[in-house]
Structure 1
Amino acid sequence: MNNQSMWSLKFSTAALVLIPVAVGINYIGKFIAGVLKLPLWLDSIGTVLAAMLGGPIVGALAGAINNIIYGFTDPISFVYAITSVAIGLAVGILFYKGFISGWGKAMVAGLIIGLVATVVSTPLNIGFWGGQTGNVWGDALFAFILANTDSTWLASLLDELVVDVPDKLLVVLISYGIYKGLPRNFVQLYNNNDKVETLD
Structure 2
Amino acid sequence: MLGYLAGGLLLAAGTLPLIPRSILALIPVAIAANIVIGQVVGTITPIPLYLDSIGTVMIGVLAGPAAGAFTGIISNLIWGVTLSPSVIAFSSGAAFIGAAAGWAARLGAFRTPWFAVIAGALAGIPAGALGAPVAAYVFGGGLGSGTGGVVAVLQAAGLEMLNATLAQSLFSDIIDKALIFALAYVIVRTLPRRIRDRYPFTDHSRARSSRAAVRVG
TM-score band, normalised by the shorter chain? 0.7 to 0.9
Q: Which moved more, 1:26-35 or 1:53-62?
A: 26-35
Per-residue deviation at 1:9? Answer: 3.6
Indicate the residue corresponding to 1:154 in structure 2.
163
1:51 corresponds to which residue?
60
1:25 matches 2:69:
no
Q: How does 1:68-107 map to 2 (within 5 A)?
A: 68-73=77-82, 74-107=84-117
Q: Of Structure 1 and Structure 2, which has the larger fraction of its residues in helix?
A: 2
1:138–1:162 contact (8 Å) kept in structure 2: no
CA–CA separation in structure 1 for the residues paired with 2:159 and 2:35: 36
The number of residues matched between the two structures is: 185
Contact 1:138 1:158 (8 Å CA) reproduced: no
Contact 2:128–2:166, Cα closer than 8 Å, also in 1:
yes
Q: Relative to structure 2, which stretch is displaced further, 171-180 or 18-27?
A: 18-27
User: How far did 1:31 drift?
Assistant: 5.0
| 1:4 corresponding residue in structure 2 | none
Distance 2:97 2:179 in 1: 14
Answer whether contact 1:19 1:61 (CA < 8 A) is retained: no
Relative to structure 1, the CA distance from residue 72 to residue 138 in structure 2 (aligned partners, 3 Å threshold; closer, same or farther) is closer
Which 5+ residue runs of structure 2 have no aligned equivalent? 1-14, 202-217
Identity rate, percent? 30
The answer to whether the Cα contact below 8 Å between 2:132 and 2:165 also exists between their aligned partners in 1 is: yes
> Which of 15, 22, 25 is the equivalent residue of 1:14?
22
1:67 aligns with 2:76: yes
Instruction: Show structure 1 runs of 5+ residues with no match.
Output: 1-6, 193-200
Q: Report the alpha carbon displacement of residue 145 of structure 1 after superposing the two structures with TM.
A: 3.0
> Cα distance, 1:94 vs. partner?
1.1
- Give the alignment's Cα RMSD to 1 decimal: 2.3
- How far residue 10 of structure 1 moved from its aligned partner, in angstroms, is 4.5
Q: 1:38 to 1:150 in 2, by over 3 A?
A: closer
Residue 124 of structure 2 corresponds to 114
State TM-score, norm by structure 2.
Answer: 0.76
d(CA) in 1 for partners of 2:130, 2:38: 20
Q: Deviations over 1:1-41 (max 9, x none)?
A: xxxxxx99444332111211211221342255368725122
SS in structure 2 at match of 1:17 = coil
1:104 positional shift: 0.7
